[in-house]
Structure 1
Amino acid sequence: MKSMHKLFAAGLAMATMFSVAGCGSSQSAQEEHPDSIKVWHYEEDNGAQGKAWAKAIELFEKETGVKVEFEKKTFEQIRQNASQILNSDEAPDVMEYNKGNATAGLLASQGLLANLNDYVSEYKWDQKISGSLSDTGKYNEKGIMGSGDWYGITNYGEDVIMYYNKDMFDKYGIEIPKTLNDLEAAMQKFVDNGITPLSEGVAEYPLQHLWWQLALSKADDKFIDAYEMYDGDVDWQGKETTYATQTIKDWVDKGYISKDSTGVKAEDAGQAFMNGTYPMFFSGTWWFGRFQSDMPDTNWTFSTFPDSKKVVGSSGNIWVIPERSKKQDMAAKFIDITLSPEVQNLMGNSGGVPIAADPSAITDEKSKELITSFNEVLKNNALGFYPDWPTSTFYDELNASLQELVNGTADTKTVLNQMKDNYDKGVEAAGVKQ
């Protein structure tokens, strides 16, 4: 996904939200032989990752005799409260967390995440996680990803793709798009038939992912390095961001995106695609398994975004071990089980994109198609990461600017200036500019 960073006071609301007892005894016996470990993640039970993590918990308990105290959180709960929680006795022992400079990188630079280098060597995780997939697990002393020490371990990949309800396309005699011109022509035909084509959620990540994909369609590695790695200056009035922002405005004006989507969250946008309200949805492969299980009677398909050499995506979210955990060895053991063939193969057959599955064990044809598509993205070095990663506040700021663009209270130039100001302030405040 998914993947961020508003920091606000803990207070009574946070104490209520995270009310379970702290993570482990300070006694050495408890550290060496814990009775339980606390695991947090935010995957849906019927999604590929949710099914895989449930299997990992089952295998871990069977193999170690240690009970897993599992707590499901929402993406927003963890996003908004991670720094406070991990700096308290409420911290879990292992947690799924969003990757990138402004999330995992920020926490690593603050000393809130355990250094995993020794576990990487012990379990040989770097033999399974390499190339661009490893970028989001390693951070330097400033919290910039791609080099330095290991602070997070992924076990799947993800990219953001176009989902198409083929039944709706067939009903109106519209072909599945192969080019950007095809895509815009298809959207216009739906509008002509009184249907808004794109399911969007501007209150959370979906529209900012589309905005970034449009920018990536005009981008090269130099632009991505400047934007994501602070290696050079970002021209906010340049072709990449101008094209993306103006295209979003044009698509709203043409009725391809509803003005009413400004208050729509990601889950609602996905549900609207699933129930057949909209024929298209641009979002992550984390939805794939849910669509397989929740749309059994719908003929749907997918593709990477047309006419773009770069796509939104990266490794999947990462498992991190809080520095305050007293059960880090057992937490690492749990992470290793999530990379086991049984868990990885289950993920692959449930619509996920595992990084260590046995190809011959993936029997679901649609899942094979997804994995093949992602492998092609990796082969072409096409992962373009996510737009909110550069600063700890940019996720909310991007959403706010795009909401103004969609509801018509700000034009393209104004929105770009807002983005530039927020980006520059966040990067300067973080002190990460090279």
Structure 2
Amino acid sequence: MARNTPSRTLAVVGALSAAALALAGCAGGSGDSADSNTLRLWHYEGEDSAMAKAWNEAIEVFEDETGATVEFEQKSFEQIQKTASQVLDSDAAPDLMEFNKGNATAGFLASTGLITDISDAVDEYGWADKLAPSLQTTAKYSEDGVMGGDAWYGIPNYGEFVGVYYNTDAFAAAGLQIPTTYDEFVAVLDAFVAKGITPLAEAGAEYPLGQLWYQLALSRADRQFVNDYQLYENPVDWQGPEFTYATDTLQEYVENGYIASDVSSVKAEDAGVSFINGTAPIFVSGSWWYGRFVEEAGFDWTLRAFPEATLSLGSSGNLWVVPENAANKELAYEFIDITMRPEIQAIIGNNGGVPVAADPADITDEKSAELIATFNGILDDDGLSFYPDWPAAGFYDVIVRELQGLVTGAQDAATTNANLGAEYEEGTADFR
């Protein structure tokens, strides 16, 4: 449930091992791969994205400092995901590429030996000192591909998180203050309902509703709960206080009018637009909406962490990974190091991204500084808790389906949790 296409996070194990596309169609020629002075680089960020702007500058710095040439190929997310197994097991592998974090993505490649254990490079360049513990989790994997292991298989240089967007103009018009406690948050929801306004922009046909549900569970959880749920350290109690509270409370949100009664058919885009056009004054979702709201929302707004929560949905961004068959690994490490420099991190931060190692003094855009300060506050609390669909392949669709059943009244909270628990147990059996 990360970014704008959340289901892509884990439902790729089969696709990674399937011959979905011909190698020649996506890998390009490999004639230059043996050139010791050429870095072959792949990523899939759009040209106008904060990351692409930063990495384009990094390419110029790299070429100037090393005298090497960067052979960059922009791939689509789907190209890399669908053909990774085949391409990386051949001499067509690049030297460095962006790849999705998570057990069934980067973890799968790590467990099959297709990407390099870069632990020595991490020590040499000191990257661990620049990454908070919860950011490191998605970069390190065990022998069987479970994140949070001992070996480094990637480096992230941006992050993402879920918080609460507030339309401050709407709050001012209603005579309300931005809440700082959960009780105040609920009081605000009640106040808007009393004025005939449905306060929460939500979407039950896609990821936002599941994010709110998981955030409610996190509000009653601790780090051990996250480790049990995401890293399989101990059994998860699906009738325990965390999930019971989350599912009961979500049902109450619908009953109390905090969420529209037709939420089960609403998609993420519709929810985001309802915040942009001022229909709903509150939206619980991710930092990936931030740049769009800057461009399109015609009112003053702010993003805060969920009130009183010490744990928040979020993670590192995607990873730089070095294929095991890379011809020029040392060049890859040099390039990664440049992307971690403060001046490159500042480009991410000043263009609507969330850098992981920026100097706050380098962030000159006021809105961006607010975003990064919120993210850094979550990091300071070791609060990043990943996404609810990560533990098992296909679990995103299960969460959407079961929460739709809950909010439409087709099933009660206990049944919803029982169904979720059964699917979770089945999907994670191989890891426990």
- Same structural fold, with TM-score higher than 0.5 when normalized by the shorter chain: yes
Instruction: Tell me what 2:43 maps to.
Output: 40
Identify which of 64, 70, 90 aligns with 1:66: 70
Quick one: distance in 1 between partners of 2:321 and 2:269?
A: 25
Per-residue CA distance 1:169-228 (angstroms, 9 max, x = gap): 223333222222222232233333343222223333322221111001111233222212
Contact 1:341–1:358 (Cα < 8 Å) also in 2: yes
Q: Which moved more, 1:132-141 or 1:85-94?
A: 85-94
Quick one: distance in 2 between partners of 1:422 and 1:315?
A: 26
Contact 1:46–1:293 (Cα < 8 Å) also in 2: no
Gap change, CA 1:114 and 1:57, over 3 Å in 2 = same
Contact 2:85–2:109 (Cα < 8 Å) also in 1: no
Instruction: Tell me what 2:408 maps to.
Output: 407
Identify which of 114, 127, 130 aligns with 1:128: 130
Instruction: Tell me what 1:15 maps to.
Output: 21
2:160 paired with 1:166? no
Contact 1:23–1:93 (Cα < 8 Å) also in 2: no
- Residue 67 of structure 1: how far off its partner (Å): 3.2
Quick one: distance in 1 between partners of 2:408 and 2:25?
A: 41
Quick one: distance in 2 between partners of 1:233 and 1:280?
A: 35
Gap change, CA 1:57 and 1:275, over 3 Å in 2 = farther
2:5 paired with 1:6? no
Gap change, CA 1:222 and 1:298, over 3 Å in 2 = same
Gap change, CA 1:102 and 1:148, over 3 Å in 2 = same
Contact 2:192–2:199 (Cα < 8 Å) also in 1: yes
Gap change, CA 1:96 and 1:276, over 3 Å in 2 = farther
Instruction: Tell me what 2:112 maps to.
Output: 110
Instruction: Tell me what 2:320 maps to.
Output: 319
Quick one: distance in 1 between partners of 2:197 and 2:253?
A: 13
Gap change, CA 1:273 and 1:79, over 3 Å in 2 = farther
Per-residue CA distance 1:43-89 (angstroms, 9 max, x = gap): x555543543444355456654323122343xxx4797476566676
Correspondence 1:142-291 to 2 at 5 A? 142-291=144-293
Contact 2:89–2:114 (Cα < 8 Å) also in 1: no
Contact 1:5–1:79 (Cα < 8 Å) also in 2: no
One-letter amino acid matched to 1:69: E
Per-residue CA distance 1:263-283 (angstroms, 9 max, x = gap): 444344333322323211111
- Residue 420 of structure 1: how far off its partner (Å): 0.6
> Percent same amino acid at aligned positions?
46
One-letter amino acid matched to 1:184: V
Contact 1:133–1:315 (Cα < 8 Å) also in 2: yes
- Residue 423 of structure 1: how far off its partner (Å): 0.9
Contact 1:86–1:324 (Cα < 8 Å) also in 2: no
Q: Which moved more, 1:190-199 or 1:319-328?
A: 319-328
Contact 1:169–1:175 (Cα < 8 Å) also in 2: yes
How well do the aligned residues superpose, as a CA RMSD in angstroms? 3.2
- Residue 406 of structure 1: how far off its partner (Å): 2.7
- Residue 357 of structure 1: how far off its partner (Å): 1.7
Contact 2:15–2:81 (Cα < 8 Å) also in 1: no
- Where structure 2 has 5 or more consecutive residues not aligned to the other structure, the ranges are none
Quick one: distance in 2 between partners of 1:195 and 1:238?
A: 33
Contact 1:23–1:38 (Cα < 8 Å) also in 2: no
Aligned residues: 423
Quick one: distance in 1 between partners of 2:76 and 2:26?
A: 15
TM norm structure 2 = 0.85
TM norm structure 1 = 0.85
Quick one: distance in 1 between partners of 2:76 and 2:291?
A: 18
Quick one: distance in 2 between partners of 1:252 and 1:137?
A: 37
One-letter amino acid matched to 2:21: A
- Residue 37 of structure 1: how far off its partner (Å): 2.7
One-letter amino acid matched to 2:201: S
- Where structure 1 has 5 or more consecutive residues not aligned to the other structure, the ranges are none
Contact 2:135–2:315 (Cα < 8 Å) also in 1: yes
Quick one: distance in 2 between partners of 1:9 and 1:352?
A: 29
Per-residue CA distance 1:357-380 (angstroms, 9 max, x = gap): 223222223333333333332222
Quick one: distance in 2 between partners of 1:48 and 1:316?
A: 12
One-letter amino acid matched to 1:132: S
One-letter amino acid matched to 2:43: W
Quick one: distance in 2 between partners of 1:319 and 1:265?
A: 31
1:191 alignment partner, SS class? helix
1:169 alignment partner, SS class? helix
Gap change, CA 1:277 and 1:88, over 3 Å in 2 = farther
Quick one: distance in 2 between partners of 1:88 and 1:407?
A: 47
Gap change, CA 1:184 and 1:28, over 3 Å in 2 = closer
Quick one: distance in 1 between partners of 2:369 and 2:351?
A: 10
Per-residue CA distance 1:234-287 (angstroms, 9 max, x = gap): 110011001111111211222322343434443443333223232111112233
Q: Which moved more, 1:123-132 or 1:88-97?
A: 88-97
Quick one: distance in 2 between partners of 1:86 and 1:206?
A: 34
